[in-house]
Amino acid sequence: MRYTRFFGQLNKENGLQQISRYQLARIMNIAFLEGKISGVEATAKTFNENINSKGTELLKFQIRRRVTELTGNKDPKSLMEEICYLSEKEI
């Protein structure tokens, strides 16, 4: 949940940046998907399933692939810079 933590900390320190609705939706989707991965892992633990079982791994892979599509596999700071840049163009 590296992006979610970064965005949360940034929001606590600086308040909401002025970003476009599209970029805000992007941030929210990233946070949701990271939470979904965490939920899959927690559910597997709760039901004593192997966290690395085939079904769990496939589901986590699909979610992580979508996170990569949204983030471009950039570090959180670079991603936030991109979001701010694109927001300036969109607003």
Domain chopping of the chain, boundaries: 2-90
**SS3 letters for 40-73?**
HHHHHHHCCCCCCCHHHHHHHHHHHHHHHHHHCC
Q: What is the pLDDT of residues 48-77, one digit of tens each?
A: 666 667 888 889 999 999 999 999 999 999
Is the separation of the CB atoms in 21 and 41 below 8 Å?
no
Rounded to two decimals, the pTM is 0.85
Q: What is the pLDDT of residues 25-40, one digit of tens each?
A: 999 999 999 999 999 8
Is the separation of the CB atoms in 3 and 79 below 8 Å?
yes
Alpha-carbon span 80 to 91, nearest angstrom:
16
